[in-house]
Amino acid sequence: MNTPELLSPAGNWDCAKAAIENGADAIYFGLERFNARMRAENFTESDLPELMEFLHWRGVKGYVTLNTLIFQNELVEAEQYLRSIIAAGVDAVIVQDIGICRLIRHLSPDFPIHGSTQMTVTSAAGVEFAKELGCQLVVLARECSIKEINKIQKQLTESNLTLPLEVFVHGALCVAYSGQCLTSEALGGRSANRGECAQACRMPYELISDGEAVNLGDRRYLLSPQDLSGLAVLPDLVKSGVTCLKIEGRLKSPEYVANVTRVYRNALDQAITDVNAERYNLEMAFSRGLHTGWFEGINNQELVHARFGKKRGVYLGEVTQIQHEQITIATKAPVKPGDGVVFDSGHPEAKEEGGRIYAVEQHRNQTVLTFGRDQLNLRRIDIGDRVWKTSDPELDRQIRQTYAGDQPKFQRPIDIEIHGEIGKELIAIARDTIGHITRIESEMPLIEAHSKPLTTERLQEQFGRLGNTPFCLGKFENHLTDAAMIPVSELNRMRREIVDRLENLRMQPKQWQLQESRSHSELLPRIDNESGQNPLQPQPELTILVRNLQQLETVLKLGIQTVYCEFEDPRAYRQAVELTRQLSDAEIWVAPPRITKPSEQWILEQVRKSNADGYLIRNYDHLKFFEHDRKIGDFSLNIANAITANYFKQFGLEHLTASYDLNVQQLIALLKSCPSNWLEITIHQHMPMFHMEHCVFCAFLSTGTDFTNCGRPCEQHEVKLRLASGMSGGKHPGIEHILQADAGCRNTVFNGTAQTGAEFLHHLVHSGAQRFRVEFLNESSQQITQTIALYRQLLNHEITGAQLWRDLKLQNQLGVTRGTLT
């Protein structure tokens, strides 16, 4: 088994140094634009040559994150970014957008592409898609267990398909599938797919079951997972054959980067001597609680403890006594003067008491903490409060020392072999671990040694003096057979020349091929005058998506000709198709679940047995499974530019649903860059915000861990989530967001308020749009009838978009928002 590459985050130069000096094999970082951590300090295009030279000098790779969706009007700038990245000798770029993958491969036949976790790859079919796209590596979704990773690897081997796989091993866990979270977009117009996540998952929520609030005690952070720590399962991850282990944290401090990198470097090098000390370091670096995430399978009770959603650190114990400026706790971890603590009364959303410890006294298993005068408001601290250590200045100082100064501290081995014979030059051949080799000859011949010949020990001592260089001596071979000698000064000169040559070799920028004459415009779909933006285009069509049989029957009776079904239970699709055949000549299309894991082909088989007219394609498994069927690409394919649209169209998709991340101007730019019959626009819907492996039904309405023992509360209760009072900032007070489960037990939180883009419909029609989708969620037959009537009037120019919006607001108790197109 090969040791996986250790990949660390770097939000700035200090973080890059911290990663290098603590053993990272590679770092990943963003530039000013197009990266999924726009709040990080980030680097600039002009930093790239210097940064890459520095990284390569230290034997470390550098990967640029260009991992957001790219809109049509940004393709020119994105192309220039890519040219700068490739020319600077960057080792790879991490990409979400399918069109950008195509563009990179168009510009350069050999520059490495790493498929981001935001591509939502959860199966061998997804890996195969990424390889055909031009990727050299794929970052799997965080929701893949080790068992599923092994199954993916097995399926790839059986298909004679090889592609390196990368997984996140440590850091914050998103509750939603990366690339499939629309919460920030829906609630605040800040797209996670554009690097502007508002972290709505870290907020407290109330659980409403069958109209009543469920008393969950202090468990209110229903969507906030504990942080991922793969330390406990690291041997199994290495055995799985993953190529790279990635640490999350481009928004974190250099101390965090140094601390976590060092722990995993030691673990990979099998140098751990004290597991408890390593866990302590990880918890002090940053912790909302540490858990193995999905690596060991699904355990909904442990994944989300729901008691807080922010950094805590190391748990010290509970308060047992309060007296004067002293607080006694039942200690479960070491504590010392200077440490910072916080007192947890079960209300983490409120201001909490905390401060630095002045003195510590130990009395058996009780620890008395003394604080400075007036540092704490003791009236706000109670017996039983939990105490967390949030700061350890001594540990921070130790960590900072690992990357302080300009001299290299973490050294990588070079192998040296020695050859020669008396009367000829001494030859030293040196190799580093990344393939560089140099051959040095002495400037004088070897002579016969009458005393103190060049033994292996003497040579090893001289060539091993590599302090203040990026190197340490690895394997050493002495092939001298004679008792020979040469001055020590010459050995020292040869050693210095080895270092200089290897450093110079490393610092040369990588020469990737770059086709200067090529442009993104060559990848855009062809639009001719006849099939393009024709002023005499046909009357736009209204398509409807329903989520149960009653809604379907209502829609069919209204004469809708294209109906989509997205049911929680795919077994009901057969009945939906039969109902459609009985009541109408409409086409019925059915939707498989958005995620497909390696063992879930049976769900797709169920969907196909419905014999629908066609299928909504939501992921790469669907593309392959329904290869010979009629199909339409759905929104989860994240089609945000015409290069992406053009690529997906080659799979035989009759229409493509535009990404929900686009506002009206971006949508119009996309429409004008594609043939007019390609795109379908969702004009009315309840935005699917969180789409997640985490099952809220199981975690909070049962004592079970997964579908095998939860009792299926999703089939017995109507559940909604409401942002805890006082947490909405007045923007979305009291909105109950609808929770649904699918056949794979994945949950989707839908925005309780529907949104409409009606005011922009005629602008979109003028720009070439011919298909508009209205999606229903839990609406009654009466609401559906009224809504469809309004949209028909709008399409017939009988009312304006503003009138439709006002009428919908009057009809719906929760109102209707203008949504994300604005």
Which residue ranges form the domains of the chain, and what is each CATH number?
Answer: 5-173+225-296 (3.20.20.70), 313-401 (2.40.10.170), 412-507 (no CATH), 537-821 (3.20.20.70)
Model pTM greater than 0.75? yes
User: What string of DSSP letters covers 339-364?
Assistant: -EEEEE-S-TTS---EEEEEEEEEET
Q: CA 747: distance to chain centroid?
A: 18
pLDDT per residue as tens digits for the range 539-581: 899 999 999 999 999 999 999 999 999 999 999 999 999 999 9
Of 31, 23, 25, the closest CA to residue 7 belongs to 25
Helices (H), 402-511: 456-463, 488-507
Beta strands in 591-666 (DSSP E): 614-617, 631-633, 656-657
Q: For residues 18 and 277, what is the distance between their CA atoms, to the nearest angstrom?
A: 20
DSSP state of 512: -
Q: For residues 661 and 667, what is the distance between their CA atoms, to the nearest angstrom?
A: 9
What pLDDT does 331 receive? 87
DSSP-derived 3-state class of residue 743: coil
Question: How are beta strands 113-115 and 447-448 bridged, if at all?
Answer: unpaired
What pLDDT does 651 receive? 97
Report in angstroms the alpha-carbon separations of 439 from 178, 427, 432, 499, 794.
Answer: 48, 7, 12, 11, 78
Of 783, 774, 24, the closest CA to residue 403 belongs to 24
Query: Which residue positions in the chain have pLDDT lower than 70?
Result: 1, 271-275, 529-537, 725-733, 810-822
- Sign of the Cα torsion 555, 560, 561, 566 reads negative
Report in angstroms the alpha-carbon separations of 165 from 4, 115, 138, 612, 700.
Answer: 10, 10, 5, 36, 34
What pLDDT does 530 receive? 45
249 and 286 Cβ atoms separated by less than 8 Å = yes
pLDDT per residue as tens digits for the range 514-539: 999 999 999 999 987 544 455 556 78
Question: How are beta strands 326-330 and 314-323 bridged, if at all?
Answer: antiparallel
What pLDDT does 35 receive? 84
Q: For residues 421 and 629, what is the distance between their CA atoms, to the nearest angstrom?
A: 74
- Please name the amino acid found at residue 362: Q
